[in-house]
Chain A
Amino acid sequence: MNLEFTPEEQAFREEVRSFIAENYPKHLADFGMREDMAREDFVAWHKILGQKGWSVPAWPVEYGGTGWTPTQRYIWSEENARVNALMPLPFGVSMVGPVIYTFGSEEQKAKHLPGIRSGEVWWCQGYSEPGAGSDLASLKTTAVRDGDHYVINGQKTWTTLAQHADWGFFLCRTDPTAKQQEGISFILVDMKTPGVEVKPIKLLDGGYEVNETWLTDVRVPVENLVGVENKGWTYAKFLLAHERSGIAGVARSKRGVEKLREIATHETLDGQPLIKDFDFAKKVSQLEIDLAALEITELRTLAGEQAGKGPGPESSILKIKGTEIQQRLTELTLEAVGTYSAPYMGGVSNDNGSNEHPVGPDYAAHAAATYFNMRKTSIYGGSNEIQRNIITKMILGL
C-alpha cells in the first residue's frame, strides 16, 4: 500500500501536461464554464481530444478507450483541472455512450459511438418530467408502436443544454399496464425530428442552462430502441451509476480551494489578509480535510473498479460528499468576497461578450451566481436523499 507515483506515472503526467499546454485552446484557459458560450467553445477541447484518441478514457479499448489505469485517469483529471479545462460534456461520453456500447446493437454502436468520441454530435438527457423527479419511474411520456416507428408524446424537463443537442436519449413508457419500472424503454431521438420542441428555463442565477423538452407525435424508427423493449429501467440505472462515478469532481475542487485561498489573500479583515483570520482559515482547512478524505475515497473506489468491480453503490458516497464539498466551496467563496457578493453581474452564463468591467474585484463578479447555480448539484443526478436510499438498500441491506 502506498500513495507514490511510479516513474512511469510521473512520465505520463509530464506527457499529458505538455500535451495540454501545447493543445488546449488559449482563449479558453482558466475560463470556467459559461452556459451561453458558443457551441464551438464547448466542444473545442473535446474535438482536439477526439483526434488524439483521449476523449473517452474510461471506455473499453475496443470502443476507443485509452486503457489507462485508474491512477492515470486520476492524473489526467488533475492535469486538466490545473488549467480549469472545459472537459467533454458528460451526456455522450459518460452517459449514453456506455449504455450504447453495453446494451446497444452493432448498428447503434457503429452509428453513434464515433460522433460521441469526436465531439461532433451533441447529446442531451430526457429523463426527468414535471411529475417525475426523484420518483423517476413514475414518468408518463409514452412511446406507442405504429408499424416500424414509435410515436412519442410527453414532456421532459431539466434537459441540460438541449438548445445545442443533435440527439437525445429518452425514457418512455412502452407498456402502460406493467408495473412502474417494467414498462419503460430507452429510446434515441434525433432532436431535429418534427414535434420536438425545446424551451428555455431561466435559473435563479440568471443563466440559461436547462430546458423543457416537449414531444408531440414524434415519430422515431424502432431501430432507435436500445436493448430490449420495456427493459429501459435497467439501462437507466446503469447509466446513473456511471454518471455518479465522475461526479465527485475532486481535481476541480482542489483547484477551487487554491483559488479560494488566493481570494482570501487579497481580501482583508482588520487590516490583515482574510486568510490570516483564524475563524475563516479554520473553515478552509476543514474543507481541505473533507476534500482529502473524498480524494482517497475516490481513489479506493477506482482501485476497486480496476480489480473488476464496476461502479457500484459506493459511487453514491462520492456523489453525496463531492457535491457537498463543491457547494461548500462556493459558499466560502461567497463569504470571502464579502459585500461585493451583492452586485448582480449576470448569471454564471451571462457576461459573455460584455466589455463592461465588473463592479468590485474580478473574482467577486460571479461568486454569488456560482453559489446559487451550484445548489443544483445535490439535486441532480439522483438527489442526495435518493443516494442515501440507494446506500440503504444496496450497502446496509435494509
Chain B
Amino acid sequence: MDFNFTEEQDMVRDGLSRLVREQYDWETRRKAIATAEGWRPEVWSQLAELGILGMPFSEADGGFGGGAVDAMVIMTEFGKGLVVEPFVPTVVCAGGFLKHGGTAAQKEEHIGAIVSGSAVFAFAYAEPKGRYDYADLETTAKKDGSGYVLNGHKAVVIGAPWASHLVVTARTGGERRDRSGVSVFVLAKDTPGVTTRDYVTVDGRRASEVYFENVAVGAEALIGAEGEGLALIELVTDEAIAALCAEACGAMKVAHAMTVEYSRQRKQFGVPIGSFQVLQHRMVDMYTAYETAVSLTYLATLRLGSDERTRKLAVSAAKVGVGQSARLIGQEAVQIHGGNGVTDEYAIGHYFKRLTIFDSEFGNVDHHLKRHVALS
C-alpha cells in the first residue's frame, strides 16, 4: 500500500501546473472559449510536446508507458485551470477503446496520431432517450457486405466540434437495452452521411448533436467483437469516470481556496466574513468534502485494474461521493461569495458550472448509487 507519486508523476504535475498557470490565466481562458473555435489547438500541440497526450499508452503502442495514476495527475491539474481541451474524449475514451479493444492495424493508424496531437476524438455514446444506459441504443449499425451502415442520433457529444474522428456506439443486434448486440465503431468525422449541430455547453466547452444517415463504414471500423462491445464500453467509461473525478477534485480544490480567500477579503459589519463561525464551519465541511472526494478518486483510480465487480463498485462509489462533494462545494462556494458568486465576472461561478455538469457525465449520483446497490 503506497500513496506516494513517482518522481516522473511529480514532474508531469509540475510541468502541467506551469502550463496552466502561464497559458490558462483567467483572462486568456475567457477570451479563448469565446472565440469561434472555442479552444486552442496550440495548447493541444504543447500538450503533445510535453508528452501528456501519449502518457497513458504503452511504449509498444507509441506512448510513454504511464497508467491510470498518471491520468489522475494530469486531470487534476486540468481541473484546477478549467482546461477545456478534450483530453478525456481523445486520450482516455478513444485511447482506451484502442488500447483495450483495438486491432494492431487500428492502434497503428490512430494511437500515433493521438500522441502527436494530429487526431482529436469525440466519444458519441449518449442518446436523447438512453439516459445513462450504454445499451439503451436506437442508433443502429446494419451489416452491409463486409462493412456496416450506421443510422441514428447521438446526443451531447463533448468535443465533437473540434474532433477529426468519432468513436460511436450502435446496436448491431438484439433488442433495445439488451446487454448483447452493442458494438463500437471508429470513423473519421468527415465520413459521408455524418452531420452535426454544434453548440456551446454551459461549462464553457463545445459539443454537438451528431446525426448518422446511411453512413457506410468498412469492417476495419469495428472495435472489438461485433455485438459484444458493452463490457469494453463499461471498462473505458469507468476509466473516464476516474479521470473526470480527478478533474472535479482539481476544480473543487481551487473553488474551496478561492472561497476561503474571499472570506478573508470581504468585509461586512466591519469585519472579514471569514471571522463568522457560521461560515467557517461551512468552509470546513467543504474542505472535508474535498478530502473525501480525493480519497474516493484514489480508490477508483487504483481499482481500475481489479476484477470487474471490484472495479465497478469502486468507480460507482467515487462517482457518487465525488458528485455529492462537487454539488456541495459548488453551491456553498457561490453562496459564500454572495452576489459576486452569481456574476459572470467572478471565476467562482465558472467552477460551479463545471462541477455541476460533472454530475451528468457517464451517470449521475442516483445512477451510480443504483449500480452500487445492484453489485452489493
Contacts and interface: CB of A to CB of B under 8 A. Distances in A.
**A and B: bona fide binding partners:** yes
B2 to A, nearest CB: 5
A295 B302 CA distance: 14
Interface residues of B, number: 38
Given A2-B1, A278-B373, A398-B263, A292 B283 contact: no
Given A281-B376, A289-B372, A391 B284 contact: yes
Interface residues of A, number: 40
A398 B275 contact: yes
Interface string B302-327: 11000000000010010011000000
Interface stretch (A28-36, A162-170, A296-304, A334-342): A296-304
Interface in B340-365: none
Contacts of B291: 297, 314, 317
A321 B288 contact: yes
Given A278-B373, A389-B280, A293 B321 contact: yes
B274 interface: yes
Nearest to B275: A398
Contacts of B288: 317, 320-321, 391
Interface in A292-329: 292-297, 299-300, 303, 314, 317, 320-321
B376 A292 contact: no
Interface stretch (B49-57, B236-244, B293-301): B293-301
B280 A396 contact: yes
A296 B295 contact: yes
B26 interface: no
Contacts of B293: 293
A321 B292 CA distance: 9
Given A284-B376, A292-B317, A297-B292, A1 B3 contact: yes
Nearest to A293: B292
B292 A2 contact: no
A3 B369 contact: no
Contacts of B303: 3
A18 interface: no
B295 A388 contact: no
Interface of A: 1-5, 9, 71, 74, 261, 278, 281-282, 284-286, 288-290, 292-297, 299-300, 303, 314, 317, 320-321, 385, 388-389, 391-392, 395-398
A288 B3 CA distance: 22
A398 B264 contact: yes
B8 to A, nearest CB: 12
Contact of A396 (B69, B260, B321, B372): B260
Contacts of A395: 287
Contacts, number: 115
B3 A303 contact: yes
Can you list the 3 inter-chain pairs with the closest CB atoms, starting with the nearest?
A296-B295, A293-B292, A392-B280
Contacts of A294: 292, 295
Contacts of B274: 398
Contacts of B370: 278, 282
Given A1-B302, A281-B376, A303-B3, 14 more contacts: A74-B1, A286-B320, A288-B317, A289-B372, A292-B317, A294-B295, A297-B292, A299-B3, A317-B287, A321-B288, A388-B280, A391-B288, A398-B275, A398-B283
A316 to B, nearest CB: 9
B376 A288 contact: yes
B317 A388 contact: no
B21 interface: no
15 contacts: A5-B1, A261-B376, A278-B373, A284-B373, A289-B317, A293-B321, A294-B295, A296-B298, A296-B299, A297-B295, A299-B1, A300-B295, A388-B284, A392-B283, A396-B260
Contact of B260 (A1, A289, A293, A398): A398
Contact of B376 (A285, A320, A321): A285
Nearest to A306: B3
A301 to B, nearest CB: 10
Contacts of B275: 398
B193 to A, nearest CB: 42
Contacts of A321: 288, 292
Contacts of B296: 289, 292-293, 296
Contact of B287 (A1, A281, A292, A396): A396
A317 B286 CA distance: 11
A5 to B, nearest CB: 6
User: Which of A288, A290, A396 has the most chain B CB atoms closer than 10 A to its own CB?
Assistant: A396
A2 B260 CA distance: 32
A281 B299 contact: no
A392 B3 contact: no
A219 to B, nearest CB: 42
Contacts of B3: 1, 299-300, 303
Contacts of B5: 1
A289 B280 contact: no
A139 to B, nearest CB: 22
Contacts of A389: 277, 280
Contacts of A388: 280-281, 284-285
Contacts of A3: 1, 299, 302-303
B268 interface: no
